[in-house]
Amino acid sequence: MTARKSERLLNLLITLLVSRSYVTKDRIRSVVEQYADAADGAFEKMFERDKEELRSLGIPIEVGYLDKAFDDDPGYRIERSAFELPEISLEPDEAAVLGLAARVWQHAGLASATTDAIVKLKAAGVSVDRTALNVAQPQLAVEEPTFEAFWSATQSRTPVTFGYRGAGSPEAGVRHLQPWGVASYRGRWYAVGLDTDRGEPRLFRLSRVEGEARPDGKPGAFEVPEDTDLRALTAHLAPDTGDQTARLRVRPGAALGLRRHAQPVGAASGSGDGWDEVEVGYGRTDAMVDELLGYGADVVVEGPEELRERVVTRLREVAQQSTEPAEVRR
């Protein structure tokens, strides 16, 4: 399915979903941008195909009338109660994957044409229920403030420039990047692409970006090399894939993100509490500390001693801050 067709189907879905009443074919044509630009015959064919495609996906489209007494043209809508999914039970690993996908979708945002469609419906006097979008749009969020800028730049193929503080660098330097994509690896978000200052592919952790990521050229200024495997490239370039090994105890069913790149050793010896013992390779100690702290009490560090001490120190600092009076913390 092409990107344009996908956007058109999404626009049609949301147009019919948010309307509190039936929407006529003429109104739908004026609201959905891709329909408005088509000739009469092309519109009729597209609309009929799109309706059937939505129905084939299990989305029920109702046909009805605004007022039968006036012999109005038939209209269409999607009843929210018929479209909502029943309660779904997911395995922990399935929930983790779905959550990651939802985070990306949330910050990618709906297409601007979809927002325009809702505005047009309201302007035409059609009562809309914007909360119905919750059915089609997950509501998890990415914490990195620069995610949206990098994501948009990858979609429009726009070079960007930004301040970046590398590991161990006291000050941020200016970087220039042709972003090929945004990827999550070991719990961190990275912008991946061609570093034009160094002339080679690099990746930059979004949490180390300082200030804003600003356009550094025009949209369409570069092409992503063919056969680029973003996931493999991220794993290859990631800086935390060194030769150190952390020995950890992990609570059963917890820390799923950590388990995906861990080697199981077995049940934690002598614990008797059913926890698992795993080993995880890492490079930078500070990055590993950050990751482990994110799992809270579900992970206990057994070694090496330097890593354990760093984690304990950070936990003590957090505990001390939480017990200080508010006027002292200010």
The 10s digit of each residue's pLDDT in 52-108 is 888 777 778 888 876 655 556 788 888 766 555 555 555 555 555 555 555 454 444
Does residue 213 register a pLDDT over 90? Answer: yes
Distance separating alpha carbons of residues 273 and 251, to the nearest angstrom: 9
Please state, in angstroms and as integers, the Cα–Cα distance from residue 323 to each residue in 172, 297, 320, following that order.
33, 19, 5
At residue 107, the pLDDT reads: 46
Distance separating alpha carbons of residues 299 and 252, to the nearest angstrom: 10
Please state, in angstroms and as integers, the Cα–Cα distance from residue 76 to each residue in 48, 71, 133, following that order.
12, 15, 17
Judged on CB neighbours under 10 Å (0-12, 13-18, 19+), 51 is middle
At residue 68, the pLDDT reads: 55
Does residue 259 register a pLDDT over 60? Answer: yes
Structure tokens that stand for 100 in this block: 């990651």
Average pLDDT, the chain: 75
Q: CATH 2.30.30: does it fit domain 147-234?
A: yes
Kindly list the domain boundaries of the chain, sorted by start residue.
3-91+108-135, 147-234, 244-323
Contact (CB, 8 A) for 186 and 238:
yes
At residue 324, the pLDDT reads: 53
Q: How far is CA 90 from the centre of its chain?
A: 19
At residue 160, the pLDDT reads: 96
**Residue whose token pair is 């109005």:** 72
Among 24-28, 29-33, 103-107, 119-123, the minimum mean pLDDT is found in 103-107
CB atoms within 10 A of CB 210: 12
Contact (CB, 8 A) for 47 and 28:
yes
**Residue whose token pair is 């730049």:** 153
Confidence of residue 226 (pLDDT cuts 50, 70, 90): confident
Confidence of residue 3 (pLDDT cuts 50, 70, 90): low
CA gyration radius, the chain? 25
Provide the angle, in degrees to the nearest 10, between the axes of the packed helices 3-18 and 40-56: 80
pLDDT for 108-161, tens place per residue? 444 444 445 555 555 555 555 555 544 444 443 456 788 889 988 998 999 999
pTM exceeds 0.75: no
At residue 287, the pLDDT reads: 73
At residue 199, the pLDDT reads: 93
Does residue 8 register a pLDDT over 80? Answer: yes
At residue 116, the pLDDT reads: 52
